[in-house]
Amino acid sequence: MSCFRVSKSELLMRWDIFCQIVDNYGDAGVCWRLARSLATQHQQQVRLFCDDLPTLNLLASDSHRIADIEILPWEASFSNARHPIEAPDVVIEAFACHLPERYQTGLLIAPQKPLILNLEYLSAEPWVAECHAKASPQPTGLSKYFFFPGFQPNTGGLLIDPIPSLGTESQDCVPASLSSSWSQLRPDAERISVFCYPGAPLREWLEDLGNTNAKVDILLSFGHAELIGNGVGRPLSLPPSIQLIALPFIPQGDYDWLLTQCDFNIVRGEDSFVRAQLAGKPFLWHIYPQDDLAHEVKLKAFLDLYLQGADRATQDACQSAMAWKMPRAWWQKRSEWRAHASVWREKILLDNQDGGLAARLLRFVS
Ligand code: TRH
């Protein structure tokens, strides 16, 4: 598939991305992916300020320094400021994080004012298109806009880079971080990757899968063996057809690759959710549970889009899986879902053939 990108002759700009890690890895995951896309696909200069560098570095550990990205501690955004400061062209507040006050003061006295964008969470809900790219008037007079990722036209699109190539691995291309886990895989077994939140009925789910006669290698993301209490309390009752493999925390690019190599993926926050779709495989989105049940609305909005035009078997299997129904109820219906997942991958790539979120950001700014 050919992708239209912002042309080289378009502005080469300086970007400051602010990433505050509230919990988990998703904030760092999205900011790192965006920084990488701006620098490597669009030749932009990026400074990424983060309040939790150890977490960011975990994800970014496979990318030897990309020349046009500087990863900096949060405080570096104001501690070395010269006056008048040389402001960037664009400032991104990821997920409505607040800019450090002293940094913002610096922008106010800078001769050239940047454009500030509030990069919001991804949602398939219809209202997103109405709020995308709307101005957010500031008492300071700085120009600020909302930027909403989304699935529909007239949204900010999806962060699709790097587009994964599909196909089975040769032993040579298994990433180093996964090589010892990969050596445990059984050639005739299916593969499921698992990355979900605590609270998922994972133990029961795996035990039920054990009753389907399926031969499956389960690749548990870092920390998930503890999540199912393996080795603690009542031992998991699994037949030999189900093998558990505990993975270390792997760099983001390796995690992307892993999803393409599995037959089914359990994913959770917005970044792994998009990557599972790009992997073109059936998946279970364990959406982050919110107290006001907003996640149910978000999940329904996504499924309404995802299942448009899907056959009955796919609808049943997917709705059941996403509701954490036990695999015995739907596991055998996956062949139609597989075909649908691959069609959906092509659809989102087509919808984002303009380069997706990073390219739309650039076009919006310029
Ligand atoms: O970690 P997450 O659950 O993060 C989410 C987001 O922060 C979200 O905004 C917030 O609302 C929610 O938590 C509470 O899931 P997500 O978004 O899928 O991000 C995980 C990132 O971690 C993704 O970029 C993939 C990466 N990753 C690795 O790099 N290596 C690994 O081994 C694993 C398991 C993940």
For residues 20 and 136, state if they share a domain: yes
Which ligand 1 atom sits nearest the alpha carbon of residue 251?
29
CA atoms of 268 and 7, how far apart (whole Å)? 34
Instruction: Look at residue 3 and tell me whether its pLDDT is greater than 50.
Output: no
For residues 129 and 188, state if they share a domain: no
Choose among 316, 318, 324: nearest CA to 341.
Answer: 318
CA atoms of 252 and 249, how far apart (whole Å)? 9
CATH number for the domain including 208?
A: 3.40.50.2000
pLDDT in tens, 126-169: 999 999 999 999 988 899 999 999 999 999 999 999 999 887 66
Which ligand 1 atom sits nearest the alpha carbon of residue 27?
7
Catalytic residues: 27, 270
Choose among 197, 202, 200, 168: nearest CA to 185.
Answer: 168
Q: Is 25 in the pocket of ligand 1 (CB under 6 A)?
A: yes
Contact at 8 Å (CB) between 90 and 13? Answer: yes
Across 27-36, 42-51, 80-89, least confident range? 80-89
List the strands of the sheet with 216-220, edge to edge: 242-246, 216-220, 190-194, 264-267, 283-285
Domain membership of residue 7 (yes or no) is: no
For residues 185 and 290, state if they share a domain: yes
Residue nearest to atom 4 of ligand 1 (CA): 26
Domain count, the chain: 2
Supply the DSSP string of 176-236, one letter for each residue: GGGHHHHTT--TTSEEEEE---TTS-HHHHHHHHTTTT--EEEEEPTTHHHHTTTTSSSPP
Which ligand 1 atom sits nearest the alpha carbon of residue 221?
34
Q: Is 253 in the pocket of ligand 1 (CB under 6 A)?
A: no
Domain membership of residue 177 (yes or no) is: yes
- Phi/psi region, residue 365 (left: phi>0; alpha: psi -120 to 50; beta: rest), is alpha
Would you tell me how many other CB atoms lie within 10 Å of the CB of residue 297?
14
Domain membership of residue 5 (yes or no) is: no
Chain mean pLDDT for the chain:
92
User: pTM score, two decimals?
Assistant: 0.94
Instruction: Look at residue 86 and tell me whether its pLDDT is greater than 90.
Output: no
pLDDT band at 2 (very low <50, low <70, confident <90, very high): very low
Q: Is 270 in the pocket of ligand 1 (CB under 6 A)?
A: yes
For residues 200 and 317, state if they share a domain: yes
Angle subtended at Cα 16 by Cα 11 and Cα 17, rounded to the nearest 5 degrees: 115
- Domain of 145, in residue numbers: 14-161+353-365
Instruction: Look at residue 284 and tell me whether its pLDDT is greater than 90.
Output: yes
For residues 144 and 20, state if they share a domain: yes
For residues 274 and 187, state if they share a domain: yes
Cα dist from 131 to 38, 76, 92, whole Å = 23, 32, 17
CATH number for the domain including 87?
A: 3.40.50
The whole-number pLDDT of residue 222 equals 96
Instruction: Look at residue 317 and tell me whether its pLDDT is greater than 80.
Output: yes
Q: Is 287 in the pocket of ligand 1 (CB under 6 A)?
A: no
